[in-house]
């Protein structure tokens, strides 16, 4: 089985992963079940959280994670993704984690490789383990997802995190509201303003402006994006009492989120998201390699 999209998972598999992730995070677990297994990390795009948490997850399970330094690999000599996938497949890894700038890349690699392939972000398409770790974070902190009002705000158009969450969270009973600058919304999307989306929300998830995917610079004057669309105290005051704040990282501080809100331990789940990322990826590796 591969994990390319949230759609690849049944409701029972989603439940198993979330439940297991919370148990692993809380230390009620047995690890080491993947001793002797090998996980390849193949990251064509920059990453800190996803790359390091997959490697940490593999090690905690007793497996060995090997990361291809893509910039120093034959990719620099022009090798195609398909040929790299064929080459790595011949080494018989037990799983491959792939991030690539093109939509559909993880699925093409999976068609070539015999082992399970995990999509760690393909272009603007999907990032399923991010959505799973976001859901696991809510489970861990709030105890439930059913009935939560969740505002996802920012550069929706380029966000694979938003796409995967928009598929997963409603399946778990949440109401998801997507909002952002009109230029950064998908053409088909219903256009809520950020203020409307945040009103009464239990969770406010802010997204990074994905400058690397923009044709031209967005939000010229310093402070303008924060004032118009970012998470400020004033805007957060519209949310439900006790509302919690999330961000998949990396953050543009002072752009999509006020720095003090990001660092406010009482309201910000950003560090918990990182911790749950390790636990969730452990659960995913266990499920796929069992």
Q: What three-state secondary structure class fits 238?
A: coil
In this structure, the chain runs to a length of: 290
Pairwise CA distance, residues 223 & 219, whole Å: 9
Q: Is 160 in the site for ligand ASP (CB under 6 A)?
A: yes
Among positions 100, 177, 208, 235, the unique one binding ligand ASP when judged by CB under 6 A: 208
Beta bridge partner(s), residue 98: 42, 119
Q: Is 157 in the site for ligand ASP (CB under 6 A)?
A: no
Task: Report the nearest approach of ligand ASP to the CB of residue 251 (Å).
Answer: 9
Pairwise CA distance, residues 255 & 107, whole Å: 33
- Beta strands 117-122 and 64-68 are unpaired
Residue among 161 and 178 whose Cβ is closer to ligand ASP: 161
Pairwise CA distance, residues 6 & 14, whole Å: 9
Task: Report the nearest approach of ligand ASP to the CB of residue 96 (Å).
Answer: 17
Among positions 131, 138, 161, 285, the unique one binding ligand ASP when judged by CB under 6 A: 161
Instruction: Establish how many alpha carbons lie within 13 A of residue 276's alpha carbon, considering only the half-sphere containing its beta carbon.
Output: 26
Residue among 33 and 249 whose Cβ is closer to ligand ASP: 249
| Interface size with ligand ASP, residues (CB under 6 A) | 8
Phi and psi dihedrals of 231, rounded to 5? Answer: -90, 110
Residue among 177 and 208 whose Cβ is closer to ligand ASP: 208
Residue among 108 and 124 whose Cβ is closer to ligand ASP: 124
Residue among 157 and 160 whose Cβ is closer to ligand ASP: 160
Task: Report the nearest approach of ligand ASP to the CB of residue 249 (Å).
Answer: 6
Pairwise CA distance, residues 161 & 14, whole Å: 17
| Angstrom distances, CA of residue 101 to CA of 30, 81, 212, 228 | 36, 11, 10, 29
Q: Is 37 in the site for ligand ASP (CB under 6 A)?
A: no
Q: Is 100 in the site for ligand ASP (CB under 6 A)?
A: no
Task: Report the nearest approach of ligand ASP to the CB of residue 28 (Å).
Answer: 28
Q: Is 121 in the site for ligand ASP (CB under 6 A)?
A: yes
* CA 44 to chain CA centroid, nearest Å: 16
Binding-site string for ligand ASP from residue 214 to residue 253, where x marks contact by CB under 6 A and - marks none: ----------------------------------xx----
Q: Which residue is nearest to ligand ASP (CB)?
A: 208
Q: How many CB atoms lie within 10 A of CB 16?
A: 15
Pairwise CA distance, residues 238 & 195, whole Å: 8
What 8-state DSSP symbol labels residue 101? S
Binding-site string for ligand ASP from residue 124 to residue 153, where x marks contact by CB under 6 A and - marks none: ---x--------------------------
Note whether 149 and 240 are within 8 A (CB).
yes
Residues that bind ligand ASP (CB under 6 A): 121, 127, 160-161, 208, 210, 248-249
């Amino acid at each position: 089985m591969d994990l390319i999209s949230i759609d690849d998972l049944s409701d029972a598999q989603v439940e198993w992963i979330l439940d297991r992730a919370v148990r692993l995070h809380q230390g009620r677990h047995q690890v080491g079940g993947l001793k002797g297994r090998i996980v390849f990390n193949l990251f064509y795009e920059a990453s800190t959280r996803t790359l390091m948490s997959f490697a940490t997850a593999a090690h905690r399970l007793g497996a060995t994670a090997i990361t291809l330094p893509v910039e120093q690999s034959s990719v620099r000599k022009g090798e195609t993704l398909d040929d790299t996938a064929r080459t790595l497949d011949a080494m018989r890894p037990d799983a491959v984690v792939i991030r690539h700038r093109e939509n559909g890349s993880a699925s093409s690699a999976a068609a070539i490789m015999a082992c399970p392939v995990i999509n760690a972000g393909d272009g603007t398409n999907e990032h399923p383990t991010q959505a799973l770790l976001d859901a696991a974070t809510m489970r861990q902190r709030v105890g439930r997802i059913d009935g939560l009002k969740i505002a996802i705000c920012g550069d929706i158009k380029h966000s694979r995190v938003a796409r995967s969450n928009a598929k997963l969270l409603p399946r778990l009973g949440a109401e998801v509201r997507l909002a952002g600058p009109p230029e950064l919304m998908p053409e088909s999307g219903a256009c809520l303003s950020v203020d409307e989306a945040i009103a009464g929300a239990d969770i406010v998830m802010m997204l990074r402006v994905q400058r690397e995917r923009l044709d031209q610079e967005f939000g010229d004057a310093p402070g303008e994006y924060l004032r118009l669309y970012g998470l400020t105290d004033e805007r957060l005051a519209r949310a439900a009492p006790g509302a919690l704040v999330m961000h998949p990282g990396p953050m543009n501080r002072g752009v999509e989120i006020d720095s003090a809100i990001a660092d406010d331990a009482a309201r910000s789940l950003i560090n918990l998201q990182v911790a749950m990322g390790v636990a969730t990826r452990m659960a995913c590796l266990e499920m796929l390699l069992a």
